[in-house]
Amino acid sequence: MTDAPTPPPSSSPAPKAPDASRRSERSRRAILDAALELIGETGFAKLTIEAIAARAGVGKQTIYRWWPSKAAVLFEACVLEGVDPAGVELPDTGDLAADLRTVLRATVDELNDPRLDAPTRALVSETANDPELGRALTEKVLEPQLQAYARRLRAAQEAGQVDPDADVRIALELLVGPLFHRWLNRTLPLTHAYADAVLDLALRGLAPRP
């Protein structure tokens, strides 16, 4: 977020700058942890900046100085909780099916994790109604993850394991779309077996034509 805290530069001449910087980072982490904890307890609608501040042991103004809204706090907490999106890379052992199985099963575990379920739903809920927040989340968190799928599929394409004519940016959505749909709509249980079945169908669709 553009309103993320900027620690004082380390070259600051003030003698206490390193301490202030550490304190600032500690407060920031405490606020993000508190937001994640509270969203699981109260849901987004009842989450307040006051409650986050009290749980984190900071003043309300500390939060407002760094974030414009509770949604922004939650957004950054979720970004932080996930893998650094800029550095995300799928495994590449040369076995496309095995690599994707690992990643999709891990995604199932994450979506089923009670600690992440509530904040992720709260964020989806907020972004459904707030196009600006939605675009930020898609650009900063979701799309970098999808691009990692695209890169892995492109590598498989170059290795002759995927139809050279397949559009990998679309193909990856046949993997992540069904998991997201089942999780968000709570249609049926989201399990490893489900992820494996989705993967099997998708990979058969992507196989090079004989």
Pick from 35, 36, 100, 206: which binds a second copy (CB under 8 A)? 206
Give the x-and-dash track for 16-35 against a second copy (CB under 8 A). --------------------
Residue 28 and residue 5 in contact, taking contact as beta carbons nearer than 8 Å: yes
Interaction of residue 167 with a second copy, rule CB under 8 A = yes
Q: Which of 142, 144, 151, 192 binds a second copy (CB under 8 A)?
A: 142
Write the single-letter amino acid at 166: A
**Taking each helix axis from N to C terminus, what angle separates 96-112 and 114-129, rounded to the nearest 10 degrees?**
90
Q: Indicate which single residue of 49, 88, 124, 155 sits in contact with a second copy (rule: CB under 8 A).
A: 124
What residue type is 115 in one-letter code?
R
Q: Find the shortest distance in angstroms from Cβ 205 to a second copy.
A: 3
Closest contact distance (angstroms) between CB of 123 and a second copy is: 9
Lookup: tokens for 95: 């076995």
Q: CB nearer to a second copy: give 80 or 201.
A: 201
Binding site for a second copy (CB under 8 A): 43-45, 121-122, 124-129, 131, 134-135, 137-138, 142-143, 146, 166-167, 169-171, 173-174, 176-182, 184-188, 194, 197-198, 200-207, 210
